[in-house]
């Protein structure tokens, strides 16, 4: 299984997951359709579906174009309702803690903690490898015993850095408050990886949705590599 970050920030998100048979699924479609096509090298024939974690535009911007391209979109009922795609035949409803199948990919959605209804994280299994994907959630409410080979987890900001920028006046207090209550901090990311996720067989740790303005990515990568002794990928 190969997980690739193509766009990962508050301005837009797009990821792909490919199995050994060459089947691919999109995770998120939060950039423009022309940019998605370019990121995929204009190869759409092996895209079997698109998972959307929640309805915010940086995760769902191109949903109508994805549907027009004949790609099924998998999301919660609340997300489809907000995106006004629920009546489309390409809209597939995901329910928390209920397995779904996309070709050779088995998908287990789980509820996350964000500032909107119906936000989801995903466990994806292709019978050989298992991955965990969670973004835009201030915490993880579950403890997973699954030995994931790939983990993609939000690490949005460094709290001390963020609060210092509030004091300096370079970021508005309202914006900071939203980050603190709906996105995962560096400290919480570390705690989650230590206490809630089994990394015994993990070979790739993807830190996603990192804010270039609110965290030092170079320092972050070095410290997480030192902490977990596995490959850390940050876009």
pLDDT in tens, 161-182: 999 989 999 899 998 999 899 9
User: To the nearest 10°, the Cα dihedral for 101, 105, 111, 112?
Assistant: -160
pLDDT at 31: 99
Indicate the SS3 state at residue 152. Answer: strand
pLDDT at 157: 95
pTM: 0.96
- Our count of domains for the chain comes to 1
Single out the residue of 155, 174, 148 nearest to residue 230, CA to CA.
Answer: 148
Count Cα neighbours of 80 within 13 Å in the Cβ-side half-sphere.
20
Any idea what the CATH number is for the domain that residue 198 is in? 3.60.15.10
Q: What is the mean pLDDT of the chain?
A: 97
Domain range for 76:
2-233
pLDDT of 218 above 90: yes
């Amino acid at each position: 299984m190969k997980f690739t970050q193509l766009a990962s920030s508050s301005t837009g998100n797009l990821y792909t997951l490919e199995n050994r048979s060459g089947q691919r699924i999109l995770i998120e479609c939060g950039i423009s359709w022309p940019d998605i096509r370019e990121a995929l090298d204009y190869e759409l024939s092996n895209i079997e579906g698109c998972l959307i974690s929640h309805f915010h535009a940086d995760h769902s911007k191109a949903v109508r174009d994805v549907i027009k391209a004949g790609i099924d979109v998998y999301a919660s009922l609340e997300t489809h309702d907000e995106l006004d795609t629920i009546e489309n035949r390409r809209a597939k409803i995901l329910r928390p803690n209920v397995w779904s199948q996309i070709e050779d990919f088995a998908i287990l959605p789980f509820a996350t903690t964000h500032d909107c209804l119906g936000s989801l994280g995903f466990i994806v299994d292709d019978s050989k490898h298992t991955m965990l994907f969670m973004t835009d959630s201030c915490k993880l409410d579950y403890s997973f015993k699954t030995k994931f080979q790939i983990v993609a987890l939000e690490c949005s900001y460094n709290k001390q850095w963020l609060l210092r920028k509030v004091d300096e006046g370079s970021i508005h207090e309202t914006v900071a408050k939203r980050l603190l209550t709906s996105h995962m901090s560096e400290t919480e990311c570390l705690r989650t990886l230590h206490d809630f996720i089994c990394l015994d067989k993990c070979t790739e740790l993807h830190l996603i949705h990192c804010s270039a303005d609110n965290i030092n990515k170079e320092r972050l990568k070095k410290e997480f590599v030192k902490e977990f002794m596995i490959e850390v990928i940050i876009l």
